[in-house]
Amino acid sequence: MPRPSEPTRARIVQAASALFYNEGIRRVSVDEVAAKAGLTKRTLYYHFKSKDDLVAAYLAARDQPNLALFRTWFAEAEGGLSAKVEAIFKNLARSARHPKWKGCGFLRTSAELANMPGHPAIRIGAAHKKKFEDWLRATFAEHGVADPLKLARQILLLLDGSFAVVLLHRDASYMETASEAARTLIETALAKPGRKRG
């Protein structure tokens, strides 16, 4: 069945995502991914030129859905700016209590491949975090924050710190601590003079 190429590729990425996220990049062999996708390794190598390519596709597939989720949590939360940001941490805490949760796939991949600085997957991870940071910066700017970039980076640090710490201790309550810290930083930033939102 030559024609339906796209579903095959998507199925491989889906299988790779589950395995790479759950077990780690180097722990998972290309054979395992192919088996999980229900095809042979040779077929996988028809769609992806190397394992590194597959790893990059795994993270690329997570980029937009992840960002959309954060934006949804923010948009659907009641209250002011800090309450909306806190909603992200609260929802993340709920996710983190799920037994299959294993931290942030982007950060874990960058940690595992730290010896390969230019790796395509790391570039995709960096771009993903930059997009999140930029969305935060724009949002803060709309809300009249004086230095929106600085605040966006501070929140990002708390967020990624949460991922790391909660993964290490398996204690999601750190996300609520991060949430409180975020509120303090946002309120402090709002107290300083800045442009009002339009």
**Residue ranges that bind a second copy, judged by CB under 8 A:** 22-24, 26-27, 102-103, 106-108, 110-115, 117, 122, 125-126, 129-130, 150, 153-154, 156-165, 167-170, 174, 177-178, 180-181, 184-185, 188
> With 0-12 CB in 10 A as exposed, 13-18 as middle and 19+ as buried, what is 152?
buried
Q: Which is nearer to a second copy, 77 or 107 (CB)?
A: 107
Distance CA 105, CA 79 (A): 30
Distance CA 2, CA 35 (A): 19
Alpha helix (H) ranges present in 101-172? 105-112, 120-142, 148-169
Distance CA 46, CA 41 (A): 9
Binding DNA by CB under 7 A: which of 22, 40, 64, 72? 40
Answer with the entry of a second copy, DNA, none that 159 interacts with (C-beta below 5 to 8 A by kind): a second copy
51 binds DNA, rule: CB under 7 A: yes
Answer with the entry of a second copy, DNA, none that 75 interacts with (C-beta below 5 to 8 A by kind): none
Contact 56, 86 (CB under 8 A): no
Binding DNA by CB under 7 A: which of 22, 43, 64, 188? 43
Binding DNA by CB under 7 A: which of 31, 134, 171, 180? 31
Three-state secondary structure call for residue 101: coil
42 binds DNA, rule: CB under 7 A: yes
Contact 173, 97 (CB under 8 A): no
Q: Which is nearer to a second copy, 4 or 117 (CB)?
A: 117
Q: Which is nearer to a second copy, 73 or 163 (CB)?
A: 163
Three-state secondary structure call for residue 187: helix
Contact 160, 168 (CB under 8 A): no
Answer with the entry of a second copy, DNA, none that 43 interacts with (C-beta below 5 to 8 A by kind): DNA
Q: Which residues bind DNA (CB under 7 A)?
A: 1-5, 8, 26, 28-32, 39-43, 45-47, 50-52
